[in-house]
Amino acid sequence: MNVEMIGLPVDVVKALRERGINELTPPQVEALRKGLLKGTSLVVVAPTASGKTLIGELSLINSWINGGKGVYVTPLKALAEEKLEEFRFWERLGVKVGITTGDYDEPGEDLRRYDWIVATYERMDSIFRLKPSWLSDVKVIVIDELHMIGDEERGSVVELLAVRSLLKEVQLVGLSATVGRPQILSDWLDSELVVSDWRPVKLIEGFYLPRKEVIVFSDGRLEEVPKKLTLPQHCYRKAIDEDYQLLVFVQARRRAEELSLKLAMLNLEDASRAVELASELESSSAPKSEIESLTRVVNKGLAYHHAGLSLASRRIVERGFRDRTLRAVVATPTLSAGINLPARRVVVYTRRFEGFIKPISVAEFKQMAGRAGRPQYDPYGEAIAADVTSEDEGWGYVLGEPEPVKSTLLQERAIRINTLALIASGDVRTPEDLSDIFGRTLAGFLIGGKISTYIVNYGLKILREKEMIQESGGPLRATKLGAAVSRLYIDPLSAVVIINDLKKTVAAKPLYYLTLIALTPDFRKVRITNYRTLSEEARASLRTGLVPEPPKEVEEISYYEWLRAYKVGRILNAWIEEVPEDDIIRNYGVGSGDLRVLVETGEWLTYAASKICDVVGLKEHSKRLALLSMRVSNGVKEELTDLVRVKGVGRVRARALYETGIKSVEDLASVDPARIANLRGFGLKVAHEVVKEAKKLAFIKDST
């Protein structure tokens, strides 16, 4: 279909042509035929690079033309930022595009000025709870990576997002590349289904049999792997010989780093183009240890990529692969979660360690395999399942269908969180209302009405016991504590753990608080390893009262989970004591990306704990936690908390200012920029900017 036939205004069509879009792809055409521009809800299942994002964009454009707002929801902050940059293209037509990914307790009234809002799953869930005034203007919600409904940790968030969208009667557009039996999702969401296997580049899948040293492809080809070469080595050689790019997916971070180094040591090609990329990496904000490790492979035209890397390094690697400076990247599956990095050939290792070795699902393989084939560069794409144990297993990945999406709402944690959220937001007033909403979830759709009764009974029982809700013969409503817990976007059990412990604690040092929040259910999803070696040290800290005991409220918590929390507390304590990031990474065996997640989670939970303590009258703990939250956010000792309030002043610059005698916002506001221009991390331009920002803050303080 030619873009002129879409039926949108001339300036929209012209803009599409400026982007190089002259014709629509088959799934885009099918979406239009199924009512995309008529407000019909759709579930779209189509391969990577088939144009799913544009389907979402067209629904947003149509809503904007008709005076409504639109929301595009993604699983990752990085992906949200990527989409924001893409969507800013439409600002030439007057569309105002914004983003929101944090501040869960803020309604976000300032987002009213935007026509399109890009949000993460959790942030949009919090917006539904807090009900900002502009929410009634939203006419379409696009949920990217809809298959995430089946994710153990976050699936229930996506599921309730979809249900709330249905209750609001907005157009819902769900996008996914890998969903087994998608008709189930379509029927549940009362939507039209668009399923397509069209790809701009043909995909040929296969598997490697190590015993026979051969790759078996679905098109009948057999490709021998020379003796003494591993599969990645062979594929890397072939990529160089035939001048294309290679992606290798492995299931562990250390494996990604080790394999990329082994490939780099082959010295198979002149990687002079990568020297500039390595230089950019060396001058980036990434930790020195990370730069040293990555530079060794980047100088050879390769890289590794995983969630433990700093954001700076990840972006440099991604850009280097997109512009073909890097020949190959060895990555963990996080790279396949929406980030657009295709390659001619993709190798997928199919074994993961989760206490024991287990094969990945067909859906996971298909998600990663979908990265094979780069439009404009590749005549086809190839995806190879590695380390399969038999031909039957190999064909299972190649010919198999992705597993059907399952609901994760029946986990007790998901039930108590969502039950409280529905009551606190005023979306339900009676147990019958609750039953009706849970009956409309995917869990209710799959199992039937009985599930609603179970969910309602458990949810109400646990929340009554924890004094989060009250009935008193009238409508269901949240207590002051329950309302705060829901607004702060934490698990009710996290609040109980914090309150019960601090009620019996007169005063606590930062390590105590930091270990306590790490014991809550909300901190368990953060990756942390190698904590068992701290057993003796942790026990000594417990005997002297420096850390809390395991909470009785969380019955399933083990001794090793308590050790894990202790290590989290130690890492965050080192951070607020201004230990250099490189030292923390080396001493505690965490990646820069891990440290970033620990800091973000620590900041959020210390802030939430402060607010919760204030609600229940633990005023002294509330004040200490509020200060601690600021320290965690900025990674500073207490004396720097005033200076880091200034925009542009972080832990390094604040310490440099403090050591030269500038100890407060007022001090900084009155200083001559030339005096601080030569301090570490400054320069004349930065000096002028931070003094200007300090004057703004000082004026606000004086005026109040």
pLDDT of the residue at 79 = 87
Give the domain 492-635 fold.
Sec63 N-terminal domain-like fold (1.10.3380)
CA gap 433, 420 in Å, rounded:
13
DSSP letters, 188-224, are: HTT-EEEE----SSEEEEEEEETTTTEEEETTS-EEE
> Tens digit of pLDDT for each residue in 267-276?
988 888 898 9
Q: Judge whether residue 5 has pLDDT over 60.
A: yes
CA gap 42, 45 in Å, rounded:
10
With CA atoms as reference, report the closest residue to 499 among 476, 525, 530, 520: 520
CA gap 539, 563 in Å, rounded:
9
With CA atoms as reference, report the closest residue to 609 among 514, 509, 479, 480: 514
pLDDT of the residue at 453 = 79
Contacts (Cβ under 8 Å, ≥6 apart) of 298:
274, 277, 278, 281, 317, 320, 326
Q: Which position has the token pair 């529905």? A: 422
Q: Judge whether residue 704 has pLDDT over 60.
A: no
Element (H, E) at 624: helix 619-634
C-alpha torsion sign, points 352, 354, 358, 362: negative
C-alpha torsion sign, points 40, 41, 47, 53: positive
CA gap 184, 46 in Å, rounded:
16
> Tens digit of pLDDT for each residue in 336-348?
665 677 899 999 9
Overall average pLDDT of the 354-365 stretch: 89
Q: Which position has the token pair 């189930």? A: 184
Contacts (Cβ under 8 Å, ≥6 apart) of 514:
568, 569, 572, 573, 602, 606, 628, 632
CA gap 20, 42 in Å, rounded:
25
pLDDT of the residue at 178 = 87
Confidence of residue 553 (pLDDT cuts 50, 70, 90): low
3-state secondary structure of 676: helix
Q: In this prediction, what percent of the chain has a pLDDT beyond 90?
A: 76
Overall average pLDDT of the 556-582 stretch: 91
Q: Judge whether residue 552 has pLDDT over 90.
A: no
pLDDT of the residue at 157 = 95
DSSP 65: H
Residues of the chain with CATH 1.10.3380.30: 492-635
Give residue 492's identity as a one-letter amino acid code: P
Q: What is the architecture of the domain spanning 202-399?
A: 3-Layer(aba) Sandwich (3.40)
Task: Give the residues across from 194 on adjacent strands.
Answer: 44
Overall average pLDDT of the 113-117 stretch: 97
Contacts (Cβ under 8 Å, ≥6 apart) of 230:
none
pLDDT of the residue at 554 = 62
Q: What is the architecture of the domain spanning 3-195?
A: 3-Layer(aba) Sandwich (3.40)
pLDDT of the residue at 348 = 97
- Number of alpha carbons in the 13 Å side-chain half-sphere of residue 111: 27
pLDDT of the residue at 698 = 86
Element (H, E) at 512: helix 510-518
Q: Judge whether residue 449 has pLDDT over 70.
A: no
CB distance 520 to 497 below 8 Å: yes
CA gap 508, 273 in Å, rounded:
54
Overall average pLDDT of the 177-189 stretch: 93
Query: What mean pLDDT is reported for the chain?
Result: 92
Confidence of residue 555 (pLDDT cuts 50, 70, 90): low
Contacts (Cβ under 8 Å, ≥6 apart) of 521:
413, 491, 493, 494, 497, 554
CB distance 169 to 461 below 8 Å: no
Residues of the chain with CATH 1.10.10.10: 412-478
pLDDT of the residue at 418 = 94
Confidence of residue 49 (pLDDT cuts 50, 70, 90): confident
Q: Judge whether residue 120 has pLDDT over 60.
A: yes
CA gap 49, 215 in Å, rounded:
25
Residues of the chain with CATH 3.40.50.300: 3-195, 202-399
Confidence of residue 121 (pLDDT cuts 50, 70, 90): very high
Structure tokens belonging to residue 115: 């026509």
Class of the domain covering 643-703? mainly alpha
For residue 273, the Cα-to-chain-centroid distance in whole angstroms is 32
> Tens digit of pLDDT for each residue in 477-494?
999 999 999 999 999 999
CB distance 57 to 97 below 8 Å: no
With CA atoms as reference, report the closest residue to 150 among 387, 416, 367, 434: 367
> Tens digit of pLDDT for each residue in 627-684?
999 999 999 999 999 999 999 999 999 999 999 999 999 999 999 999 999 998 899 9
CB distance 381 to 217 below 8 Å: no
CA gap 485, 463 in Å, rounded:
11
pLDDT of the residue at 338 = 52
CA gap 394, 373 in Å, rounded:
20
With CA atoms as reference, report the closest residue to 157 among 145, 170, 139, 140: 145
| Angle value at C-alpha 681, between 675 and 684, nearest 5 degrees | 45
pLDDT of the residue at 455 = 83
pLDDT of the residue at 558 = 81
DSSP letters, 356-410, are: SEEEPPHHHHHHHHTTB--TTT-SEEEEEEES-SSHHHHHHHHHPPPPBP---TT
Angle between helices 288-298 and 274-282 (to 10 degrees): 180
CA distances from 611 to 6, 221, 607, 616, 622 (A): 51, 63, 6, 9, 7
Phi then psi dihedrals of residue 5, to 5 deg: -85, 0
3-state secondary structure of 633: helix
With CA atoms as reference, report the closest residue to 28 among 47, 12, 11: 47
Give residue 37's identity as a one-letter amino acid code: L
Give residue 491's identity as a one-letter amino acid code: D
| Angle value at C-alpha 377, between 372 and 379, nearest 5 degrees | 65
CA gap 172, 165 in Å, rounded:
7
> Tens digit of pLDDT for each residue in 463-480?
999 999 997 777 999 999
Query: Which CATH number among 1.10.10.10, 1.10.3720.10, 2.60.40.2470, 2.60.40.10 corresponds to the domain 412-478?
Result: 1.10.10.10
DSSP 88: G
C-alpha torsion sign, points 443, 444, 448, 449: positive
> Tens digit of pLDDT for each residue in 141-158?
999 999 999 988 889 999
Please give the model's pTM, rounded to 2 decimal places: 0.90
